[in-house]
Amino acid sequence: MSIRPIEEEAWELLEKSIIYYRGSPVGTIAARDPDIAALNYDQCFVRDFVSSALIFLVKGRADVVRNFLQITLKLQPKTVQLDCSKPSRGLMPASFKVELFNGQEYIKADFGDHAIGRVAPADACLWWIILLRAYVVATQDLDLAHRDDFQEGIRLILTLCLVTRFDMYPMVLVPDGASMIDRRMGLYGHPLDIQSLFYAALRASAELLIPNQENQQMIDAIHCRLVPLLKQIRENYWLDSDRLNVIYRFQVEEYGEEALNQFNIFSDSIPFYRLAKWVPEAGGYLAGNLGPSQMDCRFFAIGNLMAIISSLTNEEQSHKILNLIELRWGDLIGHMPMKLCYPALEDADWRIVTGCDPKNRPWSYHNGGSWPVLLWMLTAAARKMSRAELAHHAIAVAERRLLLDHWPEYYDGPDARLIGKESRRYQTWTVAGYLLAKELIANPDHLKLVNFEDEVI
């Protein structure tokens, strides 16, 4: 069977993106656009590498993933930092690069301290655990995960995420911009994207930690957190026609354990008429954020798709999310799968919430832009729920443009007709996301790398 030109070019680009350290492959660079200054796009980002890593595992290139996991683990701070400007104990770097000094190669990590906005990557730790579990599933190399340094690395990440704070919710509290949406978008608190990754990382950790005396306290903490987290997301983040009617009639200023409106959400803060028109009877989704007097009703793709893949949503909810995508195809898919966030913040909201960030202008970048890398998550979610026709359709939409447009980082516009204004070409996770989607369609057995079938309750 001959390889089509788009797939042939994709494989060539992926191979050329590999970073080597002392002769061994350790990751992939973010992009190889010859016409735009590299900035930090010549580095290997933890979140970017996940799609590349998964396709390497599918194709038997586990050595790249193993090397990546070992390199990043060595970069993880292991001691308590008294200096608050230093990366916290247990944090994984946002990215790293190979530099040459006096003829010797060494690894330089960025924990967000050099990033635009100086935001620490809360999602990097979670993706690292999810990827370690995928590596073990693909290779059956439990010895790596059971090594003392890897067990310690998992414990340190979980300690960072499970630490007692002022908030008394089962979710992870993070600053705005601490995930793939790394610019200000009003996501401070408990954004869905992080909670979905947190749930998947907890489930992966429960599989990876050796049940011994040293780990038992952490294992107990995982099991104590999973059920409340599941219940909180499924019940309080969920939006469909029935739930909208309940929230619309919420009483406020309730006090005590029996309060239905636990977060004191004022109905005037929610655009009910627009939502009632937009959310179809057969559809639903998880809201973007929830906190005191706040419900962010935007649709965030990573959080909803990863919730399906990890079984954070139940079967009915998972189908309703896919129904929403199918029935609002023009809004969420358009001419390139798919919207990272919908709808975009515009006018006064854009100026106030994003700080007038020109890169996050309405319907661009993280503010309503469309990201081809999400194709693999959409495909995985659709495959899991036996909705392969959705994935086939989305892949066909992407194939019409990716090769001609030179594999852009993102697309702009409400319908994704425009190549992103500051989008890099030859973006590695765009390439890898497409290849991974094709592999998941061809062989659903690959879904086991990221899928969690059984529920925890």
67: Cα separation from own chain's centroid = 22
3-state secondary structure of 185: coil
3-state secondary structure of 363: coil
Q: What is the H or E stretch that residue 227 is in?
A: helix 213-236
Q: Which long-range contacts (CB under 8 A, 24 or more apart) does 25-28 make?
A: 25/61, 25/63, 25/64, 25/67, 26/64, 26/67, 26/68, 26/71, 26/98, 27/52, 27/64, 27/67, 27/68, 27/71, 27/96, 28/52, 28/428, 28/432
For residue range 227-277, what is the model confidence (pLDDT) as tens digits?
Answer: 999 999 999 999 999 999 999 988 888 787 777 878 888 888 899 999 999
**pLDDT of the residue at 163:** 83
**pLDDT of the residue at 165:** 76
| CA separation for the pair 202, 126 (Å, rounded) | 9
Confidence of residue 456 (pLDDT cuts 50, 70, 90): low
For residue range 346-398, what is the model confidence (pLDDT) as tens digits?
Answer: 999 999 999 999 999 999 999 999 999 999 999 999 999 999 999 999 999 99
Confidence of residue 1 (pLDDT cuts 50, 70, 90): very low
- Per the model's pLDDT, the better-predicted residue between 268 and 280 turns out to be 280
**pLDDT of the residue at 243:** 93
3-state secondary structure of 249: coil
3-state secondary structure of 21: strand
Query: Which amino acid makes up residue 124?
Result: A
25-39, 75-89, 315-329 — which one is most confidently predicted on average? 315-329
| CA separation for the pair 406, 203 (Å, rounded) | 37
**pLDDT of the residue at 87:** 82
Structural domain spans, the chain: 5-449
The per-residue pLDDT of the chain, averaged, comes to 94
Cα separations in angstroms, 149 against 12, 230, 321, 397: 34, 30, 39, 44
Fold designation for 5-449: Glycosyltransferase (1.50.10)
| CA separation for the pair 266, 298 (Å, rounded) | 17
**pLDDT of the residue at 2:** 53
- Per the model's pLDDT, the better-predicted residue between 346 and 3 turns out to be 346
Structure tokens at 57: 């595992």
Confidence of residue 3 (pLDDT cuts 50, 70, 90): low
3-state secondary structure of 180: coil
Confidence of residue 224 (pLDDT cuts 50, 70, 90): very high
402: pLDDT strictly greater than 70? yes
215: pLDDT strictly greater than 60? yes
